[in-house]
């Protein structure tokens, strides 16, 4: 379980540094990503978005992370905070995420990720 939470932290760091190569090793070939706004993307588009110079994250962090193991499958859930700008427009998102990981040999890869925004606190 510690390995999976470490992989989630590596994921955040790779997004902050636009390291699509690192993320490529973390996501499966048929990876499906569902964004906070309902937009769906596959691995190629997800990695292209990470490389996009218009994507300028300043904060990518997780909290309240838990891992449930089901044999060679793991479900990781938590709360994320993502802040930065995209194409000059600022964003500051706090939401929940669910990542589905599978073990392929000795390596874990994420095959699906889903995020949804939490209501803003006043």
Span between the terminal Cα atoms of the chain, in Å:
34
**Is CATH 3.90.550.10 what the domain over 2-117 is classified as, yes or no?**
no
Q: Note the pTM of the prediction, 2 decimals.
A: 0.93
The domain segmentation of the chain, as residue ranges, is 2-117
| Torsion angle (degrees, nearest 10) of CA 90, 6, 105, 113 | -30
Q: Give φ, ψ of 19 to 5 degrees.
A: -90, 80
List pLDDT tens digits, range 54-92. 999 999 999 999 999 999 999 999 999 999 999 999 999
């Amino acid at each position: 379980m510690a390995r999976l939470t470490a992989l989630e932290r590596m994921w955040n760091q790779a997004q902050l540094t636009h390291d699509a190569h690192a993320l490529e090793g973390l996501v499966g070939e048929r990876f499906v990503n569902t964004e906070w706004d309902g937009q769906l993307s596959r691995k190629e588009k997800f990695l292209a978005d990470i490389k996009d110079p218009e994507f300028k994250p300043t904060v990518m962090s997780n909290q309240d992370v838990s891992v449930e193991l089901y044999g060679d499958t793991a479900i990781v859930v938590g709360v994320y905070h993502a802040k930065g700008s995209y194409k000059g427009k600022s964003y500051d998102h706090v939401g929940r995420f669910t990542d589905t990981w599978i073990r392929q040999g000795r390596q874990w890869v994420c095959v699906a990720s889903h995020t949804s925004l939490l209501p803003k606190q006043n």
